[in-house]
Chains A and B, each alone.
Chain A
Amino acid sequence: MKNISIQLKLNGVRRTLEVEPSDVLLDVLRDKLGVKSPKVGCDRGDCGSCTVFMNGKTVRSCLVLAVEADGADVVTLEGISKNGPTRLQKEFVKRNSFQCGFCAPGVILSAEEALKKHPRASDEEIKEHIAGNLCRCTGYKPILDAIKTVASGKASK
């Protein structure tokens, strides 16, 4: 069970580190790479709190071995607003979309993916994309309303 050296691009920066084969990407991101926005929620793919982009698609980082990320391009919430807040982030703040905020990183990445795929996403497409991100506080409505506003092109830039 020897350690394996991996290299990945994390939020645009090349990082090299040693991992054990049994290390999970979520734990490595948080504990070894210092990126804290992906959260530990259910640890089995049900809640979506650990969502990150891996090679352009959202994945459950709790269900990815760290070694699998060797050579991958990983983007977390910290990475998407490097050049200032996105339209979605602005709209979420404006609408007080989140309460405790624990699910926010995962929800925001899923929403970004939804809009990347469907820039004019329908209400159903939005719900479908967010359905894997559990939120216990908000009843989802203020989250969905913000995404709809951006999808309809009505959000302020």
Chain B
Amino acid sequence: MPIAHEFDYHKPKTLPEAVKLLAEYRGKAKPLAGGTDLIVWLKGGLEKPEAVVDIKALRELGRIVWKKDEALIGALITFSELIDNADVRKKLPVLWEASRTVASVGVRNRATLAGNICSAVPSLDSAPALLVYDAVVHLQGPRGKRQMPLKDFFMGPKKTALAPGELVTGVAVRIPKKKSGGCYAKLGRYAGEDLAQVGLAVLALADNTYRVAHCAVGPVARRAEKIEGLLNGKRLSDILLEEAVRLVDKEISPISDIRSSKEYRLHMTKVMLRRALWAAVNRLAGSGPVAGSSLI
């Protein structure tokens, strides 16, 4: 299936050059990294840019920069690179686990984490994982550089806070200071590749604080603040967990679509919250299910 729409192609060699190009097209140019979303949209006529700006020559975006308490994941880092990175697996296990549920190997070899968040679809697997690590988006545009917490980046389904001509240059992820255990639980229609019908990331920290984030059960992925508020400072127990489960109805706003009914999404968020919280707490204690295994 050919792309019937015509456009210009640029491959700038430096970041300033890229930003300048994007500015020149006044929002009518699309950046291209892995292309696994963009090219589908081009074929379907959902995007008709005047130009495509291929950012893959921007070497500075192709790195993960590790600091003591932070990893800055460059915009060209693919999901396969995250999965194959031993530090990511060790220090950011929830992101590692979520990355493994994105599409399939052949797609993950090209699809980037930054491109993923730019699509801003409600079912974004990477988002709950990034949210529990308090991720911050690094942007650069005609007005210079800026940073923005990921939770503010998502404005609505397929809508982000990206200004016209602005480029995501990377995503900074905070490495938890305390010992932690975490997991990403995903509801798909089967074990193979699927878009999440419910995605749930949980991070349990050694000080009995908890971070819970979800996707596909509301217009955007977000942290479950009410549930976190209830749990924080307490040791997990079945009684506590049931109290948390009772908050699910207030925490999420799922819809019915072709992939799942609202009813099943609600039901499964509760089931998954029970399983994911226990998995995270058990992993923190050094037991729990093997990394990467499906929790449902």
Query: Hey, which bits of chain A sit against chain B, CB under 8 A?
Result: 1, 4, 20-24, 27, 40, 43-46, 48, 51, 57-60, 62-65, 67-68, 110, 113, 128-129, 131-133
Contacts and interface: CB of A to CB of B under 8 A. Distances in A.
A64 B9 CA distance: 13
Nearest to A26: B1
B42 to A, nearest CB: 7
Nearest to A132: B104
Contact of A21 (B9, B56, B100, B192): B9
Interface stretch (B89-97, B106-114, B126-134, B159-167): B106-114
A21 B7 contact: yes
Given A20-B6, A21-B9, A113 B52 contact: no
Interface string B39-63: 1101100000000101010000000
Contact of A131 (B2, B4, B56, B193): B193
B52 A21 contact: yes
Nearest to A19: B9
Interface in B169-208: 192-193
Contacts of A27: 2
Contacts of A63: 35-36, 39-40, 107, 110
Contacts of A132: 103-107, 193
Interface band, chain B: 20 to 34
Interface string B54-95: 101000000000000000000000001000000000000000
Contact of A1 (B6, B35, B43, B192): B6
Contact of B109 (A44, A57, A131): A57
A66 to B, nearest CB: 10
B296 interface: no
Contacts of B1: 40, 43, 62
A44 B103 contact: no
9 contacts: A21-B9, A22-B42, A44-B40, A45-B106, A48-B104, A57-B109, A58-B109, A63-B110, A68-B32
A123 B130 CA distance: 30
A22 B52 CA distance: 9
A45 to B, nearest CB: 5
B92 to A, nearest CB: 20
A20 B9 CA distance: 9
Given A59-B109, A68-B35, A131-B193, A22 B5 contact: yes
A155 to B, nearest CB: 22
B238 interface: no
Q: Which 8 A-B pairs give the minimum distances between C-beta atoms?
A: A132-B104, A21-B9, A22-B3, A43-B1, A1-B6, A57-B109, A63-B39, A58-B106
